[in-house]
Amino acid sequence: MTDLIFHPHCSSLEFSNLRRDDVFDRERVEAQIAQEGFLLRFSEVNGELPCAYTVGLTERGLPELILYGQSLGHVRHAWSLMEPVLHRLTQSGARLFHGQFDGRAVGVRRASLRRLRDAFQFYGQDGFSALQVYWMVGSDNHLPQQWEIRFLAAQPFLGDGTLGDLVDGDSP
C-alpha cells in the first residue's frame, strides 16, 4: 500500500460498477449481485471523507467491507488492492497492507452498520457483519506529511473499542 496517494493503473476491479448509493432498489441490487458477485458503493455524507463499501460479500460467507479515502481516486486505488486479499478479510485485527499507510481490519460496531447504507437496507441490521479497513501511519512512513496526518485523523473509526486497542493488538 505504498502509493495510495498516487493513482497507478487499477486493473483488479472494474470501476464503472462503482455506483453512488443514491437510490436503493432491491431488485436492481439482487440482479447486480447475481451478475457481478458483489457491488461496490461510493458515498460522501455530511462533509466526511469519501468511502466505498460492498454489498454482496455476505453471500460469499464474508463480512461486508468499508473504507475511507482522501478522494474518490484514493478510494478507487485502495479498492483495486482489496480484491486479491478478500480471503484474508474475515476477522478483525488483521494487518492487510504495509507501506505509506498500513490498513487494518476493524470489526464495525452494530450502531455503525447504517453507514453501509445499501447493505443495511438489503440485509437488515442483523443480517450482516462488516469490517472497516482503517488506515494508520504506515510502517514504511517514517516522517508522515501534514496532509497524511490530517487524512488519518479525519477518517471515522467505526470499530468497537478504541484506536489504542487496535494498536495494542498489533501483529506482524
pLDDT at residue 75, rounded to an integer = 83
pTM for the model stands at 0.79
pLDDT at residue 20, rounded to an integer = 59
Using CA atoms, how far apart are residues 37 and 22, in angstroms rounded to an integer? 20
User: In the structure grid, which three cell numbers stand for residue 126, read together?
Assistant: 442483523
pLDDT at residue 93, rounded to an integer = 67
On the question of pLDDT at 12 being above 60, the answer is no
Nearest to 63 by CA among 17, 113, 136: 113
**Greatest mean pLDDT among 46-50, 83-87, 101-105, 123-127:** 123-127
